[in-house]
């Protein structure tokens, strides 16, 4: 019998995982985030695996343009499980690869990356519509593998402070065109006006209305690498939205398509 989570991710491209990391696991993740924040506390510019937030333009764009950022105020951090091994220890203790991922996809996953996603009050910038598979690393074979992400809220994620939003069913429609600038390489000159890679409005699928996924602390959403998703800015005065995500390489799910999306979509 197919469980609810497996059915949801196959049909919609995402599924909620209520109460995934509670008690000690949630406390450990929060302490590990504190250590990541300590590593960034003296930073005044984005670089490497740390992106600082910037008012107005947003953290990613400010980084690519070489403009000012807020000292130590993180928007995101990459490869956090290497900077702070406790993240890897927690995801292993929770059995994410062999549990939720295996049940959803039909096979265990292999952890390939982990992120901190911070969205501070007032200045927390948006993440535009995109598909994660569009940013798969070099050498990733889309003929053999897919990716699945488990995104865990460490504070309330709400429609006010920028919870994730998904377009149900978009994961079976193929790869949509992504516009914008690629991330500049070390040593490359800053861009005059950077545009974060995104799916333009004209290319978005119209097959279903977007669905927001609010989450309580410790709850999660698991989603396929081809589902179209975004998050709005955090315009609240005092409601930070902090989350961590674990990205797993999995055998390519039978429902995925990596060729361009059909024009009718």
Q: How many C-beta neighbours within 10 Å does residue 2 have?
A: 10
pLDDT tens readout for residues 148-181: 999 999 999 999 999 999 999 999 999 999 999 9
Least reliable range by pLDDT among 62-71, 83-92, 136-145, 156-165:
136-145
Torsion of CA 179, 181, 185, 191, to 10 degrees: 180
Q: Angle formed by the axes of helices 86-93 and 23-40, to 10°?
A: 160
Q: How far apart are CA 105 and CA 134, in angstroms?
A: 20
Q: Which residue is it, tokens 């003929």?
A: 143
72-76, 90-94, 261-265: which range is least confident on average?
261-265
Contact 249, 112 (CB under 8 A): yes
Per-residue pLDDT, 79: 97
Three-class secondary structure of residue 223 per DSSP: strand
**In whole angstroms, what is the distance from residue 39 CA to residue 26 CA?**
20
> Under the phi-then-psi rule, with left for phi > 0, alpha for psi from -120 to 50, and beta for the rest, what region is 197?
beta
Residue that wins the pLDDT comparison between 137 and 92:
92
- CA nearest to 205, candidates 163, 177, 238, 242: 177
* Tens of pLDDT, residues 6-19: 899 999 999 999 99
| pLDDT for the residue numbered 184 | 84
* 22-53 pLDDT, tens digit each: 999 999 999 999 999 999 999 999 988 999 99
> Do residues 222 and 166 make contact, with C-beta atoms less than 8 angstroms apart?
no
Note the pLDDT of residue 89: 98
Give the pLDDT score at 244.
98
Count how many Cα atoms sit within 13 Å of the Cα of residue 204 in the half-sphere of its side chain: 17
The torsion region of residue 13 among left (phi > 0), alpha (psi -120 to 50) and beta comes to: left
Helix (H) or strand (E) holding 211: strand 211-213
At 67 the pLDDT is: 85
180 burial (CB, 10 Å; 0-12 / 13-18 / 19+) is middle
Give the whole-angstrom CA distance, residue 210 versus residue 223. 14
Residue 61 · residue 198 · CB < 8 Å: no
Pick from 95, 88, 150, 166: which is nearest to 117 by CA?
150
Q: How long is the chain?
A: 265
CATH 2.170.190.11 fits 4-185+192-251, yes or no: no
Average of per-residue pLDDT values in the chain: 93
Q: Which residue has the tokens 């569009």?
A: 134
Q: Which two tokens stand for residue 247?
A: 């990205």
CA–CA separation, 230 vs 195, rounded Å? 15
Confidence class of residue 2 from pLDDT cuts 50, 70 and 90? low
Task: Dump pLDDT digits (tens) for 56-65.
Answer: 889 999 999 9
pLDDT of residue 264: 40
Q: Which two tokens stand for residue 264?
A: 């009718």
Q: What is the pLDDT of residue 262?
A: 67
* Each residue's pLDDT tens digit, 198-254: 999 999 999 999 999 999 999 999 999 999 999 999 999 999 999 999 999 999 998
């Amino acid at each position: 019998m197919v469980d609810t989570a497996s059915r949801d991710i196959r049909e919609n491209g995402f599924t909620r995982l209520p109460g995934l990391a509670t008690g000690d696991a949630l406390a450990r993740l929060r302490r590990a985030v504190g250590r990541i924040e300590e590593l960034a506390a003296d930073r005044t510019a984005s670089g490497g695996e740390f992106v600082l937030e910037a008012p107005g333009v947003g953290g990613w764009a400010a980084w690519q343009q070489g403009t000012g950022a807020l000292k130590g105020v993180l928007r995101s951090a990459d490869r956090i499980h290497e900077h702070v091994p406790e993240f890897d220890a927690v995801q292993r203790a929770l059995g994410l690869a062999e549990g939720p991922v295996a049940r959803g996809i039909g096979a265990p996953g292999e952890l390939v990356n982990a992120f901190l996603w911070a969205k501070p009050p007032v200045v927390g910038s948006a993440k535009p519509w995109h598909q994660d598979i569009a940013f798969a690393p070099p050498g990733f074979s889309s003929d053999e593998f897919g990716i699945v992400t488990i995104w865990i809220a460490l504070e309330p994620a709400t429609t006010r402070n920028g919870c994730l939003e998904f377009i149900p069913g978009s994961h079976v429609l193929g790869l949509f065109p992504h516009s914008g600038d690629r991330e500049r390489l070390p040593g490359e000159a800053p861009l005059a006006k950077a545009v974060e890679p995104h799916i333009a409005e004209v290319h978005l699928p119209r097959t279903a209305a977007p669905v927001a996924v609010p989450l309580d602390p410790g709850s999660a959403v698991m989603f396929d690498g081809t589902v179209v998703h975004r998050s709005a800015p955090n315009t609240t005065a005092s409601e930070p939205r902090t989350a961590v995500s674990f990205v797993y390489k999995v055998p390519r799910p039978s429902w995925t398509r990596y060729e361009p999306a059909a024009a009718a979509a």
